[in-house]
């Protein structure tokens, strides 16, 4: 039995996604980018600013995608630093780091 809403995923990604490639394979993914204050000094003073880059794709569209894979997201090269199955395994969300 298909997961609830699974039929809507390809259309959603086609509408909102950007190009994501792994080697010769390509798909569409939704990218979330957000800056974050990290490692704040005790007392609430200075922190360092880091950027979260998280991509959501349909599961199974990039065969062999794993932690450490070299990917290109909307033209920018990254490495996968974390990979999680979400939405009952229908989607995969991975975090990116600069290579």
Partner 1 sequence: MSSLREQILADVNTALNTGRPPGVPAADRSRADDIPETVATAISVRPFRERVERVGSAKGPLAQRQLVIAVDCWASAAGDQPVDQALDPLLEWVTKALGGQTLAGKAHSVEEAEIRWDMARRDGAYVRVPVLVAVRYQTLRNDATARV
Q: Is 6 in the site for partner 1 (CB under 8 A)?
A: no
Answer yes or no: are the C-beta atoms of 56 and 82 closer than 8 Å.
Answer: no
Binding status of residue 42 toward partner 1 by CB under 8 A: yes
Residue 97 touches partner 1, criterion: CB under 8 A: yes
Residue 93's beta-bridge partner residues? Answer: 56, 84
User: From the CA atom positions of the chain, what is the Rg in Å?
Assistant: 15
CA distance 32 to 28: 13
CB 99 within 8 A of CB 78: yes
Among the listed ranges 3-11, 13-21, 39-47, 85-93, the one in contact with partner 1 (CB under 8 A) is 39-47
Near partner 1 by CB under 8 A: residue from 4, 23, 25, 48: 48
Position among 7, 15, 38, 63 found at the interface with partner 1 (CB under 8 A): 38
Q: Which of 1, 2, 11, 49 binds partner 1 (CB under 8 A)?
A: 49
Note whether 57 and 91 are within 8 A (CB): yes
Q: Which residues bind partner 1 (CB under 8 A)?
A: 35-39, 41-43, 45-53, 78, 81, 96-99
């Amino acid at each position: 039995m298909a997961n609830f809403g699974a039929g809507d995923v390809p259309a959603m990604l086609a509408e909102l996604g950007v190009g994501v490639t792994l080697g010769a394979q390509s798909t569409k993914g939704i990218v979330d980018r957000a800056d974050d204050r990290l490692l704040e000094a005790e007392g609430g003073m200075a922190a360092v600013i880091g950027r979260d880059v998280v991509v959501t794709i349909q599961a199974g569209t990039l065969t062999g995608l794993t932690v450490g894979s070299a990917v290109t997201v909307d033209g920018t090269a990254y490495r996968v630093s974390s990979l999680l199955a979400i939405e009952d395994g229908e989607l995969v969300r991975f975090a990116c780091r600069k290579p």
